[in-house]
Amino acid sequence: MRIVVIFVFTILAGLASALGGLRDSDTRLEQRELTGLLAGQVIEFFDGSKSTFLNSGRYRYTYTDDGPVWEGTYVLGDNSQVCINFDNGSGRCDVFVKDGTRTILITAEGVRFPVRNITVAAD
């Protein structure tokens, strides 16, 4: 029970920080919209890193195509929230928003990363 309470507080703290990075021009997404945007997709950022959200609920992140891969599972929630539970036991919650036609990832620390490209993931 204590672990569940700590996890819930961690999620809420991360969400509060991420939402601190919101701008008036940002639009938060409901779970249905977020699922349509991310599930089964590879999200590529301008630094070349990629987040892969497989339809199975598995998640992969790589900073470079030939670099190490961090794997885990993801959960998509309301208010644009995306929580990742990595296989190594760590986790994080961030948000994806729309700013006009641009998709933006806002980290738990409130840092904004615009999405460069979205493609279909190979399962």
Q: Is 49 exposed, middle or buried (0-12, 13-18, 19+ CB in 10 A)?
A: middle
Q: What is the CATH number of the domain that holds 14?
A: 2.40.128.290
**Least confident residue range of 5-9, 81-85, 110-114:** 5-9
- pLDDT (average), residues 47-71: 95
Kindly tell me if the per-residue pLDDT of 12 is higher than 70: no
18 pLDDT exceeds 70?
no
The number of folded domains in the chain is 1
From the CB of residue 59, how many other CB atoms can be counted at a distance below 10 Å? 22
Task: Quote the CA–CA distance of 59 and 41 in Å, as a whole number.
Answer: 10
Report the pLDDT averaged over residues 46-69. 95
Say whether pLDDT at 111 is over 80: yes
The answer to whether residue 123 scores a pLDDT higher than 50 is yes
pLDDT attached to residue 17 = 42
Instruction: Judge whether residue 8 has pLDDT over 80.
Output: no
**pLDDT of residue 41 exceeding 60:** yes
- Domain of 105? 2-120
What mean pLDDT is predicted for residues 29-51?
96
* The pLDDT value given to residue 7: 47
CA pair distance 29, 69, nearest whole angstrom:
27
Provide the pLDDT for residue 78: 87
CA-to-CA dists, residue 112 to 18, 21, 42, 70, 123, angstroms: 9, 7, 18, 20, 28
